[in-house]
Chain A
Amino acid sequence: MEVTLRIKRYNPETDVKPVFREYQVDVDPMDRVLDALNMVKWKQDGTLTYRRSCAHGVCGSDAMRINGRNRLACKMLMNELGRKITIEPLLGFRVIKDLVIDMDQFFKSYKSVKPYLIADDAPSASERIQSPEERERFDDTTKCILCAACTTACPITWTNEEWVGPAAIVNAHRFIFDSRDQGADERLKILNTRSGVWRCRTIFNCTDACPRGIEVTKAIEEVKRSLLFDRVT
């Protein structure tokens, strides 16, 4: 089927501001948006620029705004989108070129919450013991692929550079609720600030945006509750 891609283009070497350009492509209804972008890049206009790698929703490279919603281009099929599709870069961060945004602030926020196991009690010749129930407690937030769809769907990100953002909180949650971890206090202290969890207004944009189906808002609420009631459960 013939579809029109309306893509927001910006080349910092030649453009003063972004402009929309339209491309006609003949796609299969089961094609991914990424396939359609590749058709444009490979057959029509090699200057079109976007990130991509795994092409099946696990590497997190190709998050973008598709018809106004943050989605992975490789997980969104053409048959879900109609004949005219608007594609824009994620909001809230500097656009480097076309659909490529500057990820520096995103990874800086991620790193700020100490996203690694803090524990000094590893047994020498065996694994730590963790029950299936303890493992299940933080399963949802282990799924994060750091695509930035959630953080850039949050209106607070659009206006507040200090805001740590949902993705960082998700990754803090992944360790705070891991029975093996001893760093919950450090992370909760980092998140118990004006730019931490208390900025969140619980509007669920992040949960809607997550391509991995993580209940992001719920994870943020669980971190808030840990702070309010001074305990991790």
Chain B
Amino acid sequence: MAYYRFDAIIIGAGGAGLMAAIQLAGKANVAVVSKLYPPRSHTGAAQGGISAALGNVEEDHWEWHMFDTVKGGDYLVDQDAAEVLAREAVDAVLELEHMGLPFNRTPDGRIDQRRFGGHTRNYGEAPVRRACYAADRTGHMIIQTLYQQGIKHKLNFFDEHHLLDVLFTDDGICCGCVVMEVETGEIHTLHAKAVLIATGGYGRVFKITSNALAGTGDGVAIPFRRGVPLMDMEFYQFHPTGLYRLGILLSEAARGEGGILRNNEGEAFAARYAPTLKDLAPRDMVSRFIYQEVKEGRGIDGKDYVYLDLTHLPPEVIDQKLPDVTDFARTYLAVEPKTDPVPIQPTAHYAMGGLPTDINGRVIRDENGTVIPGFYSAGEAACVSVHGANRLGTNSLVDLVVFGRRAGRDILNHIKESDWATLPADPEFTARAQAADLLSRDKGENASEIRERMQEVMMDKVSVVRDAAGLAEAAATIHSLKLAYSSVAIHDHGKTFNTDLLEAHELGCMLDCAETIVAGAIAREESRGAHYRTDFEHRDDVNWLAHSLQYKSSGGLTLRKKPVTITIFEPKERKY
């Protein structure tokens, strides 16, 4: 048990967290807390690219990128934020290059760019080459490069420290957090003027997911318990091409390089649904195309998957531009993509929702944008919102670099102007009580059974296609699982590296995330982006051109609406 005091604490050492921390390096006393080692963060699993209108290989403009982002998000995107994203993407990518990121290059030595879903030339005319990339391991290069910079700047890393609680004063000022040092099981208090949550997503609430086992939404659920709202939780992206049954991501870059989806008749079916962009339509739509093909009996062998066909691509393109994803197909499905199509199905991939923030990463507490002093978020854990109802491919990496950087710079100003708020009395009380409770029982509910039931119902009832009856069933199931969780028992009662305890803690966080996803999906009686209701098939701009804000209250969950910021692009029907 120890007490530390810092100017700022960054929780999560993926792209957003490290980018923020680097802004503070040498200028403030900053701690970077991660439940993993930083290079293990899930940013490293991103594959295809990071978009920026560099125009290195063909004409491009940030305004086109902004438009695509807004349209891709089915007009739920806050357009002031989308403008920041698209404008600053250019400089952010150049900064990554200056830090040493080894991008693929054009013949004349510039950063090479390729096509990606939903990114177009001249407001939707045709696909554009906007995604800067390093083979199909762009995320790996980003996490490595930012970690390298962290070492260069001698950042103070708290590796393998697990977030247990976030601390607020009675006046609602964020003043620190409580963590468990994984190796020793000791609980520590970290006191700070600013806390940034950059803990990523929570794909592990679903059975089939591309997300790491660490993607359990800790940093989202814990502030929610402390009264912070969550925004747009009903919008969860299913990536069309996960490896069948495993969910391992097979990058959209495979289609950007010319890959084609085919049904059991060998038909390139995407063209039937999206005549202009075909296989490069946005992810929410392509996932629904696959769902529809399967539903109408055109899945492979009558099952719930289709093929991604790369066999017509030149072998050198596969080896040079898609080496890792094709290796995944070989390793995990024993399929050679050069000669055989790869079985794929939609996989839970990305949370558009999360902690609501302004364009400087400051978490807000209501529909008026009232800032919670000292509390920040960036990356997948946050909801700015630049992704609206559906994120475009590559924009997650843009998001974490652009908004991680902005949050870091704002924190620098904030800590100069403010003092340390007084910690609550007995700051570790809640964290210790929760850990003690989990450690106290010898007999009780089995955590893995609760987790599996949650993952199954979320996959069956709350994924690509939803309806009122299925959502009600999911809500009831999650409710009963939360009750079961209150008497969960674990095997490991020791202090050293107790991952049994921490997995149970993560399960509690996931149940909170799942509950808000379901509640948001029940409330939103329309179809928009990734949220598709068979009982409300159309977008309803009259009632639902609004973000949802969910609060934890004594009687359960309370839902409020927050207006969408529209600056340039009036909502239109989304066609590709």
Contacts and interface: CB of A to CB of B under 8 A. Distances in A.
B104 A135 contact: yes
Contact of A117 (B37, B40, B100): B100
Interface in A25-47: 30, 32, 41-43, 45-47
A61 interface: yes
Interface string B487-502: 0001110111111100
Given A30-B332, A57-B331, A59-B212, A127 B111 contact: yes
B29 to A, nearest CB: 20
Nearest to B495: A13
Interface in B330-354: 331-334
A159 interface: no
Contacts of B491: 45-47
Interface string A107-127: 100010011110100100111
B36, B40, B103, B500: most-surrounded residue (chain A CB, <10 A): B40
Interface string A153-177: 0000000000000000000000100
B118 to A, nearest CB: 25
B148 A145 contact: no
Give the bracket for the number of chain A residues in contact with chain B: 35 or more
A130 B212 CA distance: 33
B328 interface: yes
Nearest to A13: B494
B494 A47 contact: yes
Given A13-B494, A125-B94, A131 B109 contact: yes
Given A11-B494, A46-B500, A59-B44, A135 B102 contact: yes
Interface stretch (B137-145, B278-286, B468-476): B137-145
B110 A127 contact: yes
B558 interface: no
A100 B497 contact: yes
Nearest to B493: A47
B497 A53 contact: no
Given A11-B494, A127-B97, A135-B104, A53 B141 contact: no
Interface in B211-266: 212-214, 246, 248
Contacts of B37: 61, 103, 107, 146
Contact of B212 (A14, A53, A138): A53
A96 B183 contact: yes
B126 interface: no
Contacts of A142: 102, 134, 141, 144
Tell me whether chain A's interface is mostly helix, strand or loop, or mixed: loop
B183 to A, nearest CB: 6
A128 interface: yes
Interface in A184-228: none
B105 A130 contact: yes
A135 B212 contact: no
Contact of A116 (B41, B137, B152): B152
B105 A131 contact: yes
A53 B448 contact: no
A50 B99 CA distance: 33
A58 B144 contact: no
B565 interface: no
A209 B283 CA distance: 37
A190 B144 CA distance: 21
Give the bracket for the number of chain B residues in contact with chain A: 35 or more
Contacts of A57: 328, 331
A12 B149 CA distance: 35
A116 B149 contact: yes
B490 A77 contact: no
A58 B45 contact: yes
Interface string B102-144: 1111111111000000000000000000000010010011001
Contact of B40 (A30, A53, A97): A53
Contacts of A11: 494, 496
A97 B213 contact: no
A49 B182 CA distance: 12
B511 to A, nearest CB: 16
A132 B36 CA distance: 34
Given A54-B212, A122-B98, A30 B500 contact: no
Contacts of B500: 41, 46-47, 49
A60 B148 contact: no
B410 interface: no
Nearest to A54: B212
B197 to A, nearest CB: 19
B39 interface: yes
B568 interface: no
A47 B504 CA distance: 12
B42 interface: yes
A12 B141 contact: no
Contact of A132 (B107, B149, B494, B495): B107
B151 interface: yes
Interface string B29-62: 0000000110111101100000000000000000
Given A12-B496, A41-B500, A46-B490, A54 B100 contact: no
Contacts of A49: 492, 497-500
A46 B495 CA distance: 14
A139 B102 CA distance: 8
Nearest to A107: B37
A12 B99 CA distance: 42
A56 B248 contact: yes
A175 B44 CA distance: 19
Nearest to B492: A47
A140 to B, nearest CB: 11
A125 B499 CA distance: 47
A115 B497 contact: no
Contacts of B367: none
B456 interface: no
Nearest to A75: B331
B103, B105, B490: most-surrounded residue (chain A CB, <10 A): B105
Contacts of B99: 116-117
Nearest to A52: B213
B42 A60 contact: no
B324 interface: yes
A59 B105 contact: no
A52 B42 CA distance: 12
A50 B139 CA distance: 24
Nearest to A133: B105
A32 to B, nearest CB: 8
A-B interface, 8 closest residue pairs, ranked by CB to CB distance from nearest: A117-B100, A46-B491, A42-B448, A129-B109, A116-B148, A46-B500, A122-B98, A116-B152
5 contacts: A59-B36, A103-B37, A111-B151, A135-B103, A175-B100
Given A13-B495, A46-B500, A119-B100, 8 more contacts: A14-B494, A47-B491, A54-B213, A56-B45, A56-B328, A59-B44, A135-B102, A180-B100
